[in-house]
C-alpha cells in the first residue's frame, strides 16, 4: 500500500507502463526525486501481470561478479523453477572479461528468453557502479535483451551505457529530473490533500520556486509546516532566500521532535542499517525496535529493508544530514557510538560491518584486531579480496607495528601470488616482539611463519620440509583451525621432496580435519592426494580426488583464487595417464595460463603442471610445444636451486623429447618396406623371410633407417615414421 | 604495486580546487567536506581546498550529488593560490 504522503504519480506510471515495449527504462535524477518510490508504486500496479526482480545496489556491489550474483538472486525469486534457474550461470562466473560476457551472460540470456512470464529487472541506485567491467556486462545484456525482459536502471547519474544509440533506435524510455519534479498540482496535492496544511496558491508557488519542484525539499517543508502557526510567514521567508533548504532540518523538523526521538535519530545516524537490538546497544537505551517501527510508519525517511520489519535504514539524504548535524553539535559522541555498534555487530556475526565501523571511526587498533580475528575464515573460503580490501583501509604504520597484521598480510600476498611482498611482511612480522598466541588462533609468530613458509615453498623444497616439520611441532593441536593446513603443508612438502608414500597420511589427515568452510585447504589437499595416488599407479583414486577438488573449485570460481588451479592440474595429470589427451590438455593449458598471469606464485604446482603438459602436447603431435613447456619448467628451476625431485623429472622428459637431427638422406624403397614392417610384430628374422632377403641385410637396413630418422629404437623409429607420415 | 595499508595524507602535494554549488549551506555541512574551506557568497557556496588526486575530487563531487546540490563550477587553481579565509557568517535562522 502506498503511504499516504507518497503521491501516486499517475502520468509517470503511465509512462512506465507504456515503455514496457522498450528494452530499457532509465530513471535519472538526483537524490530526493522519488525514483525508488515511483518504481515501488509501479511494481504494485503491475505485479499481477509482470514479474518484478529488484536489485538495490550499494558501494559493495561495485564488482561485476557481485552485481550479477545479486541479479541472479533477484531473478530466481520470480521464476517458477528457481532451483535450477541460472545454476550453469553461477558456475560460469569465473573469468571476467571476454569469457564472462561472451559465454556466461548468453547462457543467462537464453534462460531468461525461455521463461513464459514477462520480467522487469530493476537496478536501483546504479550510480554505485563504477567498474568498467560492470558497465560492459550490462551493456552486453542490454544489447541482447530477450523480448520478455524489460530493464530499468535508476540512478543519480546517467549510466555510462550507450544511451545515445538506444535513444536513436527508440529502444529506451527516459524519465529525467524535469519529469520527476513536482508540478503545482502535485505540490498542492501533497501539502493540502494529503497533509491537510491548507496552503494558498501564492505561498505554494513561493515554495515551488525555491525548491524548483524538488520533492524531498517540498516534503521537508511540509514537515516543518505541520508545526508552524503562521504558515504564510514561514513560506514567505523562502522568497528570495538562498538557503539550502535541507539545512532547515536541524532547526525545523528535529527541533519539534520529542527529545528522545531526536537523540535516537542523531545517534543511530552512524549506522548503515538498523535493527532494534543494535540501536539499543548504540543508544544505551531499550525499546528501539518499537521506535523504528513507529518512525517507519509515520515518516518517509525511514525505509524498511525486509519483510519481517526487523531491519531498516534511513533515506540516504536524511542519514547524511543527521550525521552532519551530529558531527557538528555532539562530535565527542561519535567514536563511542561507532565503537558500540562495532561491538554489537561483531557479537552478532556481522564481521564486515563491525570492521567497517571501526575503520570509519579511524579506530585502527580495533579494526586491526577484528581483521586478525576473522580473516582466516574468509580467506579459506576464497574471499581473499575482501580481506585485502580491509587491509587497504588500514594505515601502513598500524600494520607495520603489529606482528599479527604483518603475518596476515604476508598470507594475503602469498595467496595473491605476490612473493616479494609476502617475504617482506614475513620479515617484518618476525622482527616484532610478540609473546604467545595471535588473535587468529596461530600459536605464535614463529608458528604462523612456519606454516606460511611450509605452504608456499618459496625458499626451496628442503627448507619447506623443515618448515613443515617445525610447523607441526609448534602447532600440534588438532582442534586449532590451522591444524588441517599444517598437515597439508607436511604432506605436500614430503611429496615434493620425493617421499610420496610418506605424504599420504598427513594429506588424508588434513582432509579429515577440514571444517565446513575451509574449501581452499580441501582443494589443495585433494589435489596433492591425487598426485600421490597417480604416482602410485592408483588412477581411479587419483581421478576421484581430482574431480572432488574440481567440484569445490567450481563453487569458488567467482573469487578467482590462483591456488584453485591445482585442481585442473591434478585432473589433467590423471586424464593424461588414462590416455584422454585432449581433455588433459584442456585442463592443463587452462590452469597454467592462469598461473602464468601471476609470476609470484609458488613454483611447484606450476612445475607439476608443465611436466604433465609436455608429454601430452608431444603425444598430440606437437613435439615442439612439448619442448617449449619443458623449457618453461627449466627456466623456473633456475631460480630454485633447492628443488627436490624436479631436476630429475625434468631431465627424464627432456631426453624423451629431444629434438631430432635433421633428415640424413631419404629412405630407399627397400628401407621403406622394412620400416612398414617395423610397425608390426615381426622379428628381424621373420621380416627378412617375408622380404626374401638375409637377416643381416635387414639389420643393416634397420641401422640406416635409425640413422636417417635420428632415432635409436624400434618404437622411436615407428613413432617418428608416423609423425613424418611415412607409414 | 599496491602494498596494503594506506599512506597518511601528505598535505604537501595536491592541487587547490575551487568548487561552487548553488545555495548557501549551513556551517553543519562543513562536516561533509572535511579538509575544505566553506564560504557563502551571493547565494552560492564556495568550497576551496587541496585535492590530493582525482579519486579525492570525484569523492567530493559524489558527495555533492548525494546531497542533491547543484554543481555550478569546478576549477583547478594555479599553484600559488591559497584557499580564501572564511567569510563571517550571518546568524542562523529561517527569518532573514
Contact B68 A31 (CB under 8 A): yes
Q: In this prediction, does ipTM exceed 0.90?
A: no
B5 to chain A, any CB pair closer than 8 A? The answer is: yes
Residue B94 has pLDDT above 70, yes or no: no
Give the per-residue pLDDT at B84: 53
Residues A313 and A97: their CA atoms lie apart, in Å, by 35
DSSP state of A243: B
CA nearest to A376, candidates A531, A482, A535, A228: A482
Query: What confidence category does residue B86 fall into, taking pLDDT thresholds of 50, 70 and 90?
Result: very low
Residue of B nearest to A247 (CA): B26
- With contact defined as beta carbons under 8 Å apart, do A177 and A28 qualify? yes
Rounded to the nearest angstrom, the minimum Cα separation between B11 and chain A is: 16
C-beta neighbour count of A31 within 10 angstroms: 21
Q: How far is A61 from chain B (nearest CA, A)?
A: 17
CB A317 within 8 A of CB A31: yes
- CB of A317 closer than 8 Å to CB of B68: yes
Q: Which residues contact A555 (CB under 8 A, 6 or more apart)?
A: A519
The verdict on residue B95 lying in a domain is: no
A95: pLDDT strictly greater than 80 = no
A127/B65 Cβ within 8 A: yes
Residue B61 maps to a domain: yes
Say whether pLDDT at A91 is over 70.
no
In a domain, B32, yes or no: yes
Report the CATH number that the domain containing residue B72 is assigned in CATH: 3.30.70.1560
Percentage above 90 pLDDT, chain B: 44
Place of cell 562543513: B30
Mean pLDDT of B54-76: 92
On chain A, the residues whose CB falls within 8 A of the CB of B62 are 127
Are B68 and A214 inside 8 Å of each other by CB? Answer: yes
Nearest CA in chain B to A217: B68
Please tell me the predicted confidence (pLDDT) of residue B81.
58
pLDDT score for B89: 44
**pLDDT for residue B3 is more than 50:** no
**Which chain A residue is nearest to residue B96, measuring alpha carbons?**
A237
| Other CB atoms within 10 A of residue A348 CB | 14
Cα distance between residue A417 and residue A561, in whole Å: 10
* CA distance linking residue A111 with residue A68, whole number of Å: 14
Residue of B nearest to A321 (CA): B29
Show residues of chain A in contact with B43, CB under 8 Å.
242
User: How confident is the model over A265-289, as pLDDT tens digits?
Assistant: 999 999 999 999 999 999 999 999 9
Question: Rounded to whole angstroms, how far apart are CA atoms A103 and A92?
Answer: 8
Contact A328 B65 (CB under 8 A): no
Which tens digit of pLDDT belongs to each residue from A475-520?
A: 888 888 899 999 999 999 999 999 999 999 999 999 999 866 688 8
**Number of structural domains chain B divides into:** 1
- Interchain contact A400–B (C-beta under 8 A): yes
* B25 interface with A at CB cutoff 8 Å: yes
B1, B28, B96 member nearest A237 (Cβ): B96
Q: What is the mean pLDDT of residues A118-127?
A: 95
How many other CB atoms are found less than 10 A from the CB of residue A624?
Answer: 11
pLDDT confidence tier of residue B42, bands split at 50, 70 and 90: very high
Cβ of residue A323 closer than 8 Å to a chain B Cβ:
yes
pLDDT value at position A725?
Answer: 80
**C-alpha closest to that of A188 among A209, A208, A174, A172:** A208
Q: Is A394 on the interface with B (CB under 8 A)?
A: yes
Q: Do A391 and B44 touch (CB under 8 A)?
A: no
> At how many degrees (to 10) do helices A403-415 and A364-380 cross?
40
A259 touches chain B (CB under 8 A): no
Contact A376, A480 (CB under 8 A): no
What range does the domain containing B67 cover?
Answer: 15-76
> Between chains, do A245 and B5 touch, taking CB under 8 Å as contact?
no
The SS3 of residue B6 is: strand
Interval A665-678: pLDDT, tens: 778 888 888 998 99
Cβ of B68 and A317 within 8 Å?
yes
In DSSP terms, which residues pair with B22 in a beta bridge? B44
Residue B40 placed within a domain: yes
Q: Are A359 and A367 in contact (CB under 8 A)?
A: yes
| Confidence at residue A467, expressed as pLDDT on a 0 to 100 scale | 95
Q: Under DSSP, is residue A54 helix (H, G, I), strand (E, B) or coil?
A: strand
Place of cell 548504540: A282
The full length of chain B comes to 96
Residue scoring higher pLDDT (A23 or B94): A23
Question: Do A16 and A41 contact (CB within 8 A), yes or no?
Answer: no
Chain A interface, best mutation among B1, B2, B5, by max A CB count within 10 A = B5
More confident residue, A557 or A447: A447
Per CB-CB distance under 8 Å, the chain A contacts of B7 are 395-396
In the predicted structure, residue A303 carries a pLDDT above the cut 80: yes
pLDDT of residue B82: 57
Residue A576 has pLDDT above 90, yes or no: yes
Give contacts of B4 with chain A, Cβ < 8 Å: 388, 391-392, 394, 396, 399, 409, 412-413, 421
For B31, phi then psi, to 5°, come to -65, -25
Grid cell 627449466 — which residue? A634
Decide if B8 touches A, using CB distance below 8 A.
yes
| Chain B CB contacts of A157 below 8 Å | 65
Residue A93 dihedral angles phi and psi, to the nearest 5°: -80, 60
Instruction: List, as one string, the DSSP characters of A358-396.
Output: HHHTT-HHHHHHHHHHHHHHHHHTT-HHHHHHHHHTSBH
CA angle centred on B78, ends B74 and B82, rounded to 5°: 85
A chain contacts of residue B44, beta-carbon cutoff 8 Å: 242
With respect to residue B63, please indicate whether it lies within any of the assigned structural domains. yes
Within A250-307, strands assigned E span 274-275, 302-304
- CA distances B36 to A249, A442, B51, B72, B85, Å, are 23, 44, 9, 17, 11
Q: Which residue has the cell 567450481?
A: A554
Residues in chain A: 727
Residue A531 in contact with residue A605, Cβ under 8 Å?
Answer: no
At A528 the pLDDT is 97
Please report, for residues A6, A296, B83, the alpha-carbon distance to residue A38 in angstroms, rounded to integers and kept in the order given: 9, 18, 42
Q: How far is B66 from chain A (nearest CA, A)?
A: 6
Compare CB distances from A247 to B6, B26, B31 and report the shortest one's residue: B26
pTM: 0.75
Q: Is the Cβ pair A418, B1 closer than 8 Å?
A: yes
Per CB-CB distance under 8 Å, the chain A contacts of B27 are 328
Q: What counts of helices (H) and strands (E) characterise chain A?
A: 40, 8
Residue A377 reports pLDDT greater than 50? yes
Residue B94 lies in a domain: no
What is the rounded distance in angstroms from the CA atom of residue A538 to the CA atom of residue A26?
59
Query: Is it the case that residue A682 has pLDDT exceeding 60?
Result: yes
pLDDT the model gives residue B41: 93
CB contact under 8 A, A328 and B28: yes
Residues A468 and A455: their CA atoms lie apart, in Å, by 8
Q: Is residue B54 part of a domain?
A: yes
Q: Answer yes or no: do A395 and B2 touch at CB < 8 A.
A: no
Q: Do B29 and A409 touch (CB under 8 A)?
A: no
- pLDDT confidence tier of residue A187, bands split at 50, 70 and 90: very high
The residue with cell 556466461 is A104
d(CA A601, CA A603): 6
A117: which DSSP letter? S
> Which alpha helices (DSSP H) does A177-272 contain, by range?
177-180, 184-188, 201-211, 215-225, 231-236, 248-255, 259-268
The vertex-A102 CA angle with A99 and A103, nearest 5°, equals 70
pLDDT at B95 over 80: no
DSSP string, A656-704: HTPPPPPP-SPPPHHHHHHHHHHTSS--HHHHHHHHTS-HHHHHHHHHH
Whether B27 has its CB under 8 Å from any CB of chain A: the answer is yes
13-32 of A, contacting B, C-beta below 8 A: 30-32
A660-A661-A666 Cα angle (round to 5): 110
Rounded to 5 degrees, φ, ψ at A175 are: -125, 120
> Touching check for A330 and chain B: CB below 8 Å?
no
Angle (CA) B35-B41-B42 rounded to 5° is: 150
Q: Is A321:B68 a contact under the CB 8 Å cutoff?
A: no
In a domain, B4, yes or no: no
How far apart CA A333 and CA A328 sit, in angstroms, is 11
Across the interface, which of B4, B65, B96 has its CB nearest the CB of A30? B65
Region A149-169: what's the mean pLDDT? 93
Which among B7, B69, B95 has CB closest to A396? Answer: B7
Residue of A nearest to B4 (CA): A392
Q: Which residue of A has its CA nearest to B28?
A: A328
Decide: helix, strand or coil at residue A103.
Answer: helix
Identify the closest residue of chain B to A408 by CA–CA distance.
Answer: B4
Interface of A with B in 420-459 (CB under 8 A): 421
Neighbour count for residue B58 (Cβ, 10 Å): 12
Report the distance separating Cα A456 and Cα A506, nearest Å. 17
Q: pLDDT > 90: what percent of chain A?
A: 57
Q: How far apart are CA A408 and CA A367, in angstroms?
A: 14
Using the predicted structure, report yes or no on whether residue A3 has a pLDDT greater than 90: no
Interface contact flag, A327 B31, Cβ < 8 Å: yes
Question: Three-state SS for A76?
Answer: helix
pLDDT of residue A96 exceeding 70: no
Contacts of A155 (CB under 8 A, 6+ apart): A26, A27, A28, A125, A126, A127
CA distance A346 to chain B (A): 22
Q: Give the C-alpha separation, A568 to A608, whole Å.
A: 11
Q: How many CB atoms lie within 10 A of CB A341?
A: 28
Residue A49 contacts B, CB cutoff 8 Å: no
User: Does residue A332 sit at the B interface (CB-CB below 8 Å)?
Assistant: no
Which chain A residues touch B32 with a CB distance below 8 Å? 320, 324
Spatial separation of the C-alpha atoms in residues A562 and A560, rounded to whole Å: 6
Amino acid at each position: 500500500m502506498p503511504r499516504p504522503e507518497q503521491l501516486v504519480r499517475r502520468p509517470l506510471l503511465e509512462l512506465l507502463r507504456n515503455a514496457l515495449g522498450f528494452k530499457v527504462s532509465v530513471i535519472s535524477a538526483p537524490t530526493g526525486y522519488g525514483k525508488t518510490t515511483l518504481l515501488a508504486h509501479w511494481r504494485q500496479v503491475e505485479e499481477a501481470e509482470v514479474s518484478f526482480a529488484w536489485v538495490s545496489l550499494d558501494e559493495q556491489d561495485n564488482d561485476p561478479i557481485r552485481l550479477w550474483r545479486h541479479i541472479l538472486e533477484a531473478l530466481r525469486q520470480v521464476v517458477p523453477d528457481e532451483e535450477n534457474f541460472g545454476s550453469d550461470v553461477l558456475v560460469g562466473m569465473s573469468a571476467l572479461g571476454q569469457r564472462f560476457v561472451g559465454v556466461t551472460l548468453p547462457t543467462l540470456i537464453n534462460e531468461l528468453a525461455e521463461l513464459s512470464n514477462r520480467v522487469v529487472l530493476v537496478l536501483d541506485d546504479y550510480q554505485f557502479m563504477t567498474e568498467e567491467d560492470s558497465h560492459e556486462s550490462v551493456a552486453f545484456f542490454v544489447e541482447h535483451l530477450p523480448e520478455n525482459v524489460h530493464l530499468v536502471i535508476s540512478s543519480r547519474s546517467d549510466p555510462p551505457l550507450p544511451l545515445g544509440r538506444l535513444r536513436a533506435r527508440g529502444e529506451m524510455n527516459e524519465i529525467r529530473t524535469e519529469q520527476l519534479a513536482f508540478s503545482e498540482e502535485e505540490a498542492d496535492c501533497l501539502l493540502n490533500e494529503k497533509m491537510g496544511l491548507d496552503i494558498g496558491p501564492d505561498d505554494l508557488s513561493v515554495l515551488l520556486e525555491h525548491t524548483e519542484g524538488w520533492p524531498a525539499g517540498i516534503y521537508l517543508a511540509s514537515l516543518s509546516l505541520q508545526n508552524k502557526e503562521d504558515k504564510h510567514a514561514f513560506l514567505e521567508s523562502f522568497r528570495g532566500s538562498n538557503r539550502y533548504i535541507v539545512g532547515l532540518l536541524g532547526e525545523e523538523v528535529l527541533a519539534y521532535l520529542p527529545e528522545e526521538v531526536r537523540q535516537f535519530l542523531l545517534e543511530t545516524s552512524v549506522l548503515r542499517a538498523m535493527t532494534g537490538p543494535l540501536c539499543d546497544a548504540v543508544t544505551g537505551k531499550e525499546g528501539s525496535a518499537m521506535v523504528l517501527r513507529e518512525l517507519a510508519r509515520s515518516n518517509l525517511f525511514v525505509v524498511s529493508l525486509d519483510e519481517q520489519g526487523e531491519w531498516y535504514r534511513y533515506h540516504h539524504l536524511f542519514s547524511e544530514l543527521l550525521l552532519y548535524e551530529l558531527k557538528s553539535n555532539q562530535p565527542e559522541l561519535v567514536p563511542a557510538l561507532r565503537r558500540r555498534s562495532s561491538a554489537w555487530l561483531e557479537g552478532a556475526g556481522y564481521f564486515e560491518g563491525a570492521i567497517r565501523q571501526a575503520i570509519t571511526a579511524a579506530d585502527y587498533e580495533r579494526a586491526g584486531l577484528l581483521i586478525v580475528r576473522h580473516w582466516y575464515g574468509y580467506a579459506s573460503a576464497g574471499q581473499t579480496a575482501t580481506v585485502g580490501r580491509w587491509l587497504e583501509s588500514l594505515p601502513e604504520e598500524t600494520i607495520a607495528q603489529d606482528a599479527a597484521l604483518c603475518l596476515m598480510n604476508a598470507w594475503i600476498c602469498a595467496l595473491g601470488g605476490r612473493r616479494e611482498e609476502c617475504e617482506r611482511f614475513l620479515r617484518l612480522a618476525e622482527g616484532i616482539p610478540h609473546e604467545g598466541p595471535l588473535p587468529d588462533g596461530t600459536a605464535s609468530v614463529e608458528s604462523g611463519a612456519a606454516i606460511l613458509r611450509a605452504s608456499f615453498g618459496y625458499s626451496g623444497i628442503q627448507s619447506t620440509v623443515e618448515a613443515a616439520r617445525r610447523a607441526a611441532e609448534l602447532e600440534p593441536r588438532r582442534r586449532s583451525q590451522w591444524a588441517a593446513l599444517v598437515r597439508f603443508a607436511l604432506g605436500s612438502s614430503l611429496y615434493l621432496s620425493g617421499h610420496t608414500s610418506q605424504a599420504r597420511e598427513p594429506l588424508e589427515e588434513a582432509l579429515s580435519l577440514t571444517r565446513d568452510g575451509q574449501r581452499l585447504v580441501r582443494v589443495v589437499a585433494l589435489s596433492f592426494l591425487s598426485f600421490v595416488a597417480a604416482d602410485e599407479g592408483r588412477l581411479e583414486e587419483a581421478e576421484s580426488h581430482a574431480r572432488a577438488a574440481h567440484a569445490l573449485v567450481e563453487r569458488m570460481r567467482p573469487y578467482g583464487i590462483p591456488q584453485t588451479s591445482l585442481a585442473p592440474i591434478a585432473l589433467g595429470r590423471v586424464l593424461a595417464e588414462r590416455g584422454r589427451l585432449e581433455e588433459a590438455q584442456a585442463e592443463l593449458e587452462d590452469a597454467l595460463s592462469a598461473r602464468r598471469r601471476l609470476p609470484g606464485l609458488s613454483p611447484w604446482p606450476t612445475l607439476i603442471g608443465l611436466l604433465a603438459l609436455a608429454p601430452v602436447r608431444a603425444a598430440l603431435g606437437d613435439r615442439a610445444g612439448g619442448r617449449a613447456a619443458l623449457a618453461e619448467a627449466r627456466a623456473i628451476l633456475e631460480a630454485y636451486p633447492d628443488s627436490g625431485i624436479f631436476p630429475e623429472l625434468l631431465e627424464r622428459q627432456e631426453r624423451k623429447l629431444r629434438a631430432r637431427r635433421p633428415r640424413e638422406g631419404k629412405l630407399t624403397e627397400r628401407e621403406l618396406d622394412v620400416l612398414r614392417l617395423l610397425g608390426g610384430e615381426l622379428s628381424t628374422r621373420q621380416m627378412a623371410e617375408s622380404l626374401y632377403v638375409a637377416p643381416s641385410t635387414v639389420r643393416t637396413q634397420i641401422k640406416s633407417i635409425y640413422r636417417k630418422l635420428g632415432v635409436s629404437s624400434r618404437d622411436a623409429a615407428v613413432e617418428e615414421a608416423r609423425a613424418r607420415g611415412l607409414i | 604495486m599496491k602494498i596494503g595499508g594506506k599512506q597518511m595524507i601528505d598535505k604537501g602535494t595536491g592541487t587547490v580546487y575551487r568548487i561552487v554549488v548553488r545555495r548557501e549551506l549551513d556551517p553543519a555541512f562543513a562536516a561533509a567536506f572535511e579538509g575544505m574551506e566553506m564560504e557563502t557568497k551571493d547565494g552560492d557556496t564556495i568550497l576551496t581546498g587541496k585535492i590530493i588526486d582525482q579519486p579525492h575530487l570525484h569523492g567530493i563531487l559524489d558527495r555533492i550529488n548525494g546531497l542533491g546540490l547543484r554543481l555550478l563550477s569546478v576549477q583547478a587553481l594555479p599553484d600559488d593560490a591559497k584557499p580564501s579565509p572564511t567569510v563571517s557568517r550571518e546568524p542562523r535562522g529561517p527569518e532573514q
